[in-house]
Structure 1
Amino acid sequence: MDSQSSCVVVTGFGPFRQHLVNSSWEAVKELSKLGLGSDVEMELQTLQLPVDYREVKQSITRIWKDFQPKLAVHVGVDTSAKAIFLEQCGKNHGYQDGDLRGFRPEGGVCLPGGPEVIMSRINMKKVCKQIAIKDVAVAFSGDAGRYVCDYTYYLSLHHGNGHAALIHVPPLSHWFPASLLGKALQVILQEMLEASGKAQAQSQDYRELSRTDSTQREPVGECLLQRKINVQSYV
């Protein structure tokens, strides 16, 4: 990966199951309107991914080959969430649920022979603690749900040598309109880009993350967040 890349790629997902409007893509569209902020001198590329294991695999390979981004951020929806979750790692095994076409990876494996867990080089706990967004909590997660979003994340972490992130947003509602989620993404990405720059200079931080309990999930601030891991809720 070109460490001098000035591009950030952000993806959202298309419709799946009964969710004809996917809040992840609606949030990414709002982010595209806002941009990364006047202080961020990087190009923003946004792409919609289908809820399809095989197409995602091809798309992630192309993203890292064609764009060589400084950071790839994938946004998915957790339909049971009441907050935004920053996922620390992607998992290699356990993909048993079929995608939009009913396909599931052979053996439930993302990358045969690959490590069970790949950690993002961004310390998501630290990012959470640095962020304060009005009307929505942002929390750390160590389990992305073993569906297409987790699959996407693992592949992106693999191709990008850890320079990737996965954000789960709640479904659209009166409390969580697309405009709020888009603004939240902007704030989160600004902090992630700053953290990503620091991580390149401090490899010790990445080694510490590699020893973190990958199943851990914790509240942020005063918001006590309860989150059940249910693959039916994710994309």
Structure 2
Amino acid sequence: MSSIRVVVCGFESYEGIDVNPSKLVAQSVADEGITLADTTVSVTSVLLPMSFQHAWPTLKKTLDEVQPHLILATGLKRNSRTVALERCAKNIIDASHPDADNAQPRKEPVIEGGPQAYWTCLPLRAISKKFAEHDIPVTFSSDAGTFVCNSLFYELLDWASKQPGAAAGFMSFPQVENHVGYAKPMKLGMMIDAARDVITTSIEYQLHDFSHDMLLPAEAA
């Protein structure tokens, strides 16, 4: 029987958001656990401050302790209508407003001298197929912004690139039951199901190497 360690992270708070799906999904998936045939899955959740200075060190501490095979980071896209699977993280910080520490860096690299971008390690095509089976609306996003979410994602993918056997990705949620245009509001339970689908599909990919289910950079353009 295989044994897989998973870390799911969310952000502690977003300004002006009362029901934070990033926080609640991370906690719920860890509390409820993941069940897979012939595989033992342990899930650890960690909540991160909305801080350029402290978000990555907080996550890194958990990664060092758990040594996970899979890391799923989550965030919020306020005006989204769907779950968004983030394709890449860019090596830029350009904050349009201050973070939780009142810091507002502009036009700075996340990591000096690092690649312009990192691509996700997750099998996005396979995940989107699983979402379709469960009627979960999804979009592929090539822009995680230039705020803390993108900065954290870049740091995470940089870390994963140096860890043999580790995969990492980022998904963004809409606001819980928020009406945007004619789209049906998304309930928290569907977001939890979406995170669970990302984890189980990614584990299956890791265990069986379904390389045809990766969404490659050329296809993501």
User: What is the TM-score of this pair, normalised by structure 2?
Assistant: 0.82
CA distance in 1, matches of 2:46, 2:56: 14
Tell me the equivalent position of 2:29: 31
CA distance in 2, matches of 1:124, 1:14: 26
Tell me the equivalent position of 1:122: 122
Do structure 1's residue 59 and structure 2's residue 66 form an aligned pair?
no
Find runs of 4+ consecutive structure 1 residues off by over 6 angstroms: none
What root-mean-square deviation, in Å, do the aligned CA atoms of Structure 1 and Structure 2 show?
Answer: 2.6
Residues 63 and 158 of structure 1, relative CA distance in 2, 3 Å threshold: farther
Task: Give runs of aligned pairs for residues 221-232 of structure 1, distance below 5 A.
Answer: none
Deviations 1:56-113 (A, max 9, x none): 1212322332222101100101111111011111111143232122213464221111
CA distance in 2, matches of 1:212, 1:113: 26
Residues 170 and 64 of structure 1, relative CA distance in 2, 3 Å threshold: same
Contact 1:88–1:123, Cα closer than 8 Å, also in 2: no
User: What is the TM-score of this pair, normalised by structure 1?
Assistant: 0.77
Residues 63 and 212 of structure 1, relative CA distance in 2, 3 Å threshold: farther
Tell me the equivalent position of 2:15: 17
Residues 135 and 125 of structure 1, relative CA distance in 2, 3 Å threshold: closer
Contact 2:14–2:50, Cα closer than 8 Å, also in 1: yes
| Alpha-carbon shift at residue 16 of structure 1 (Å) | 2.1
Which residue, 167, 170, 175 being the options, matches 1:166?
A: 170
Instruction: Letter of the 1:138 partner, please give it.
Output: V
Do structure 1's residue 104 and structure 2's residue 104 form an aligned pair?
yes
Residues 106 and 64 of structure 1, relative CA distance in 2, 3 Å threshold: farther
CA distance in 1, matches of 2:42, 2:99: 31
Instruction: Letter of the 2:176 partner, please give it.
Output: L
Partner secondary structure for residue 108 of structure 1: coil
Deviations 1:130-170 (A, max 9, x none): 43254530222221122211111111111111721101011
Tell me the equivalent position of 1:50: 49
* Number of residue-to-residue matches in the alignment: 208
Instruction: Letter of the 2:175 partner, please give it.
Output: P
| Alpha-carbon shift at residue 195 of structure 1 (Å) | 2.3
CA distance in 2, matches of 1:37, 1:5: 11
Deviations 1:30-77 (A, max 9, x none): 222331124341210011111111111212322332222101100101
Residues 60 and 112 of structure 1, relative CA distance in 2, 3 Å threshold: farther
CA distance in 1, matches of 2:152, 2:26: 16
Contact 1:14–1:21, Cα closer than 8 Å, also in 2: no
Partner secondary structure for residue 76 of structure 1: strand
Instruction: Letter of the 1:70 partner, please give it.
Output: H
Do structure 1's residue 41 and structure 2's residue 40 form an aligned pair?
yes
Report percent identity of matched pairs: 22
Unaligned runs of 5+ in 2: 179-184
Contact 1:11–1:74, Cα closer than 8 Å, also in 2: yes
CA distance in 2, matches of 1:144, 1:187: 20
Unaligned runs of 5+ in 1: 217-235
